[in-house]
Amino acid sequence: MLNVPAEGKVRGHQRAPSDSKEFHELTKRDALRQLENDLDRLLQTADSEKRTALRLEMERFADLFGRFLQEEGPSIDWNKIQKLPANAVMDYSSLKSPKNDQIRCMLDKLVVIKLNGGLGTSMGCHGPKSVIPVRSDLTFLDLTVQQIEHLNKTYDANVPLVLMNSFNTDEDTEKIIRKYKGFRVQIYTFNQSCFPRISRESFLPVAKDFDVEKDIDAWYPPGHGDFYDTFRNSGLLKKFIDEGREYCFLSNIDNLGATVDLNILNKLVGEERDDKPVEFVMEVTDKTRADVKGGTLIQFEDKLRLLEIAQVPKEHEDEFKSVKTFKFFNTNNIWASLGAIDRVLRERTLNLEIIINNKTLENGLRVIQLETAVGAAMKCFDGAVGINVPRSRFLPVKKTSDLLLVMSNLYNLKNGSLVMSPQRMFPTTPLVKLGENHFAKVKEFLGRFANIPDIIELDHLTVSGDVTFGRGVSLRGTVIIIANHGDRIDIPAGAILENKIVSGNMRILDH
């Protein structure tokens, strides 16, 4: 068997330098052929009734792998990045609100899709991330269903909710959505692909058979760029087009700011729509120092496109992270024309950059995951634009520091949507950093607060070490609390900390 080491050479095999290109081509062809043989072998172990669907999925994976073998170096030539044209990013404030009597008709052309493939493991939770309680014992999924139901009731509409699950979240999600039976929301689900992880050494799948449950570490969901193919293959794309629906609004389930925006919808299907339809909208927001690794918008080869840090040459990473050079940050809230998605898939012009995700499994095996991003499709559509939206449309919960913000009095809950409290004097959210060792897991985090502090006037909070908070604590300005190793700090009930640094061992005990 021919191994393909990372540097693309086979030891002990002497060739003249002029042959090296041809040699690389041969090793790549061999690697692809071997992978396809291995995928065939895996397919033979699958249930016969599932085999046809799985074969299509493995063909898509082999196509992705073939492209991965052909690509060398970053996919963007840094020197060819062009200045963003003046009309590439619209300002949200320039959008007009629709007239009330048009809203129902507009909503009838919309489908809401939530990316629901992630687990809550990074926050110490089991099962889908969407079922973590975030506010008043309501989960991400509860809040999403409340939002859509409120829209449907208010405007006598019928906006469907679609969840893109992964093999990690599908079974649990199906059980949970039964409780929404009586709600005025039609919920549909479909699964994104399940692709095999590839060994870094052999470039072959690490799975021995198609029993995913038995060896779950050998498989992975390949990023949200997989949405387009799996949405079509589920039959839902055709169903919604046949119903006369025109656009989908797609966002991450953990972004609590990603609600249906009627002003954006008005631009796409209402009276403000352009003569030449906008087929793809990416919501962006002003980049802050907290967003330096997130994707941004660039003009490249006369097309607007998403640039992710994985595509940036190492020597330009600092430039990419600069708030001055690249002002915008991708929220992953995307509006796309259903008809255009159908056309791009039929014409096979969907070409998404490959994100190479290197992982090490618990058994020490080094593997590669090949992924794609949903926003990377932007360059494949006509009339793609960015809309610079307020920061309030980007409220992701990736860590417990984000959870602290959304559970606090900084926000009020209204019909499933979080609205910043009018008592907050400025629109930015505080910067919160909680120590990994004591606050990373949701259960630990909740155990350290008798209740969530008042943070209406907070600018910056850093907490490190063994720290607990009593009931009714108020944090204002910049507060830094650092318990030294082996020490513990208990912030007493009712304490008001304003522009304070607390360090060492401050333990206040009741007697």
Catalytic residues: 398
Alpha-carbon distances of 206 from 32, 48, 210, 226, 361, rounded to whole Å: 15, 22, 11, 21, 11
Alpha-carbon distances of 23 from 17, 35, 63, 201, rounded to whole Å: 10, 18, 21, 19
Q: Would you state the structure tokens that stand for residue 160, as one six-digit string? A: 């469907």
Spatial neighbors of 254 by CB under 8 A, at least 6 apart, are: 118, 129, 130, 140, 396, 397, 398
For helices 100-107 and 262-269, the axis angle rounded to 10 degrees is 70
CA-based nearest residue to 345, from 316, 394, 380, 310? 380
Q: Would you state the structure tokens that stand for residue 300, as one six-digit string? A: 């490249």
- 271: DSSP letter: T
Spatial neighbors of 465 by CB under 8 A, at least 6 apart, are: 435, 437, 438, 482, 483, 484, 485, 487, 488, 489
For helices 20-43 and 51-70, the axis angle rounded to 10 degrees is 160
Q: Which residue has the tokens 């926000």?
A: 411
CA-based nearest residue to 356, from 164, 230, 200, 191? 200
Q: Which residue has the tokens 């087009």?
A: 241
On whether 223 is known to bind a ligand per the annotation, the reply is yes
Q: Which residues of 66-98 are buried (b: 16+ CB within 10 A; e: fewer)?
A: bebbeeeeeebeeeebeebeeebbbebeebeeb
CA distance 165 to 172: 10
On whether 295 is known to bind a ligand per the annotation, the reply is no
Alpha-carbon distances of 368 from 71, 104, 122, rounded to whole Å: 15, 46, 20
On whether 192 is known to bind a ligand per the annotation, the reply is yes
Q: Would you state the structure tokens that stand for residue 296, as one six-digit string? A: 């941004």
On whether 28 is known to bind a ligand per the annotation, the reply is no
Q: How many CB atoms lie within 10 A of CB 461?
A: 22
CA distance 336 to 227: 12
On whether 66 is known to bind a ligand per the annotation, the reply is no
Q: Which amino acid appears at position 278 of this protein?
A: V
On whether 129 is known to bind a ligand per the annotation, the reply is yes
Given its phi and psi angles, is residue 491 left (phi above 0), alpha (psi -120 to 50 degrees) or beta? beta
Spatial neighbors of 504 by CB under 8 A, at least 6 apart, are: 483, 484, 487, 489
CA distance 255 to 252: 5
Show binding-site residues for substrate: 224
Show binding-site residues for UTP: 129, 192, 223, 254, 398
Show binding-site residues: 129, 192, 223-224, 254, 398
